[in-house]
A and B are shown apart, each in its own frame.
Chain A
Amino acid sequence: MRNLLAFLFVLLMGTGMLAQNKTIVFGYEDIPQSLLVNPAADMPQDFHAGLPGLSQVYLHGGSSGVSAFDIFQESSVDINQRITEAIAGMSFRDFFTVNQQLEILSAGWRNKKGDYWSAGLYQELDVLAYFPEDLADLAWEGNRNYIGRSFDLGQLSVTSEVLMVYHVGISRQFNKNLRVGARAKLYSNIAHASSTGNQGTFVTTETPGTVNIYEHIVTNADLELRTSGIDAISEAGSPGREVAKRAMLGGNLGVGVDLGISYDWNRNWTFDASILDLGFVYHSNDVKRYTARGDYVLNGIEFIFPPLSDGQRTVDYYRRLTDDLDEAFPRDTLTTAYLQMRPTKVNAAISYGFGTFGEGEDCNCLNKESTRWRERLGLQFFSVIRPRRPHMALSAFYYRRLTGFLSAKVAYTVDEYSASNLGAGFAADIGPVNFYFTVDNILRYGNVARAKNVSLQLGLNLKLSSE
């Protein structure tokens, strides 16, 4: 238990805010993977190919309420006291999140019509767990000091999935000002587990006039854990082979779409927006749905002192109680299919481009055919649909092409929990080789344990142009 707790805290350090908020990569068109954040991104090159397995490595971990430092700091205060304070300081609105993406293959090319096509596949892990405040209090402190308090079972809300995403997209310049993009996605889900939309309450009451001192009451409980793929992998003779099979369209499939636009209001002002993972996965293979529903009032065991003859068995009150519990609170394991919506993301940005690339040049941008300015200043918005509510963030960013081969972008992000998230990234084109690196929460980088939100993305690509 201790090790599990420690593992969870280390794994989920931070407020994290927003998994998959690729603040730096959005609109950073020197990075081919910006197409995955906005399919309407305007690629400067005519061809790109990712280095297999290394074109996009993305990691994000966060927690909205507590950092690893809050718990594991070197201190004279007992760690259990710090955990008690951390639990007291968090609410059911807080959450822990982990997101990881690994691009396996990717490539893009411009066709004769000038459209930029791109395709590839990447693996993704996404975990989100809301902090079940009431259940944490019940587990950490018990019910003894909370007689009369109603514990909300609906605060249990967890979702996790591992999947492979196959995709193909197009980015097309419609007219001088408007560029649109779309990406079709085929999801090959490897494993999924989620428990959301739960409800019910548990309360221990002490009311005069009842048959016993307390009543333990479960009201309107409706709990469900939905899983797919987990049994198949854990029971497979070769789990690795089973994972590979399910990654290659042998598990549960789904479809989705990314849509994006880029609109130039005028020569300097640009509006970019995208909606990602508008789709679902249909789980019908290796499905297990564990459900528990009902109402129950426990008063204890009533002795009835039955008159017994010699050798007659006494009443098995305990068995009766567990049977009553089973009857009032039926638990089932179902194998019926279910639909899982993917966490849809929305990105939007408005930016102002300016600056000439070189002194004395007539052109005030890098390419007269487009508005590829040397510098860009703007605001970005991000939102991801999550089980309880959308999670949102707002960023201010500054992009600058530093030299002919090197560019950089910094962003300052404010979200519901943190107002000091400074992120930065750079992209370099060394000959045909493109390398990029982005990182979030630089202000905490000196001591990552203090960060409530850490993310990192890097990759290597090959970029070619016909000119």
Chain B
Amino acid sequence: MRLKALFLLALVFCLSSCIKDTDFEQADQITLSPEYELDLVYFTVDTSMFESSGELGEAFKVTDTTNVRFLDDSFIQESLVRAEVFFRLTNSIPRDFQLEVEFMTLTNEVQYQFDIPIAAGTVAAPVITEHLEVFDTAAELGPLTSSSRVVISVSSPETVEALDGTLNLQSKSAYFLEY
């Protein structure tokens, strides 16, 4: 009888403990929202690297491309709420250029494209051009996260042969995630 009473006492003690003023349903509201910054591409070109392009050879251009496989990853597609791509161009060639950036699928379908005009500089006084491209709407993020390749071209409508100087590009990207 005493044992039963003790069991009862212990049981009551266990049951009398409780969890108050808490709401574990809030777990559904937990959202991780990290912001990551990552280097993108960089290069330095001189005028000898430009080739004539176009049917009449009227433009002088350099182009290169890289896969960026993580962009169209399903996790990124679901979690990316904002992205930024930042370019810093340092031009010491006395010629204006046009930088073209294209985000493409692996099958070369252009999803998003923008241009950056680059002002002419000199070897003694290079000109720095900076550009921030922001993707924060569904209409902008959708094409970005459908891409897995970046193509960058630098072009000039006039010949750059025999000009001194270089064009340097540095870039970084920022990814704002929510999941």
Contacts and interface: CB of A to CB of B under 8 A. Distances in A.
Given A213-B170, A300-B42, A433-B3, A314 B35 contact: no
Interface in A101-142: 138-142
A305 to B, nearest CB: 5
A444 to B, nearest CB: 9
| Most chain B beta-carbon neighbours within 10 Å: one of A138, A140, A437 | A437
Interface stretch (B58-66, B113-121, B137-145, B156-164): B58-66
Given A79-B26, A304-B64, A317-B67, A145 B172 contact: no
B127 interface: no
Contacts of B67: 316-319
A141 B36 CA distance: 8
Contact of A213 (B14, B16, B28, B86): B86
A139 B35 contact: no
Interface stretch (A66-74, A169-177, A189-197, A228-236): A66-74
Contact of A211 (B13, B40, B42): B42
Interface in B56-113: 62-69, 86, 88
Given A212-B42, A213-B171, A307 B51 contact: yes
Contact of B43 (A3, A73, A304): A304
A216 interface: yes
A63 B42 CA distance: 46
Contact of A428 (B2, B19, B62): B2
Interface string A46-84: 000000000000000000000011001110001110010
A303 B152 contact: yes
Interface residues of B, number: 55
B55 interface: no
B23 A74 contact: yes
Given A142-B35, A405-B2, A446-B17, A435 B7 contact: yes
Contacts of B26: 72, 79
Contact of B41 (A301, A319, A430, A437): A301
B170 A212 contact: yes
B45 interface: yes
Tell me if A's interface is mostly helix, strand, loop or mixed: mixed
B19 A305 contact: no
A79 B3 contact: no
B88 to A, nearest CB: 7
Contacts of A405: 2
A89 B44 CA distance: 46
Contact of A303 (B24, B30, B64, B172): B64
Contacts of A6: 24, 27, 30
A204 B30 CA distance: 27
Contacts of A435: 3, 6-7, 10
Interface string B153-179: 000000000000000011110100101
A445 B19 CA distance: 9
A300 B22 contact: no
A305 B21 contact: no
B32 to A, nearest CB: 6
A290 to B, nearest CB: 22
A266 interface: no
A437 B22 contact: no
Contact of A299 (B33, B34, B39): B39
Given A305-B62, A430-B3, A458-B10, A139 B43 contact: no
A143 interface: yes
A390 to B, nearest CB: 30
Contact of A305 (B18, B43, B179): B43
Contacts of A248: none
A449 interface: yes
Contacts of A1: 30, 32, 179
A72 B23 contact: yes
B115 to A, nearest CB: 17
A73 B29 CA distance: 13
Interface in A300-341: 300-307, 314-319
Contacts of B24: 6, 10, 72
A142 B152 contact: no
B22 A5 contact: no
Nearest to B32: A140
Contacts of A448: 17-19
16 contacts: A2-B30, A79-B30, A80-B29, A142-B35, A143-B35, A213-B170, A213-B171, A215-B39, A303-B169, A305-B43, A305-B63, A318-B68, A405-B2, A437-B6, A449-B19, A456-B14
Given A140-B34, A300-B172, A305-B62, 8 more contacts: A68-B22, A72-B23, A72-B27, A142-B37, A214-B37, A299-B42, A305-B64, A430-B2
Closest 3 CB pairs of A and B: A6-B27, A300-B39, A142-B34
Interface of A: 1-3, 5-6, 10, 68-69, 72-74, 78-80, 83, 138-145, 147, 204, 211-216, 298-307, 314-319, 405, 426, 428, 430, 433, 435, 437, 439, 445-449, 456, 458
Interface of B: 2-3, 6-7, 10, 13-14, 16-24, 26-43, 45, 49, 51, 62-69, 86, 88, 152, 169-172, 174, 177, 179
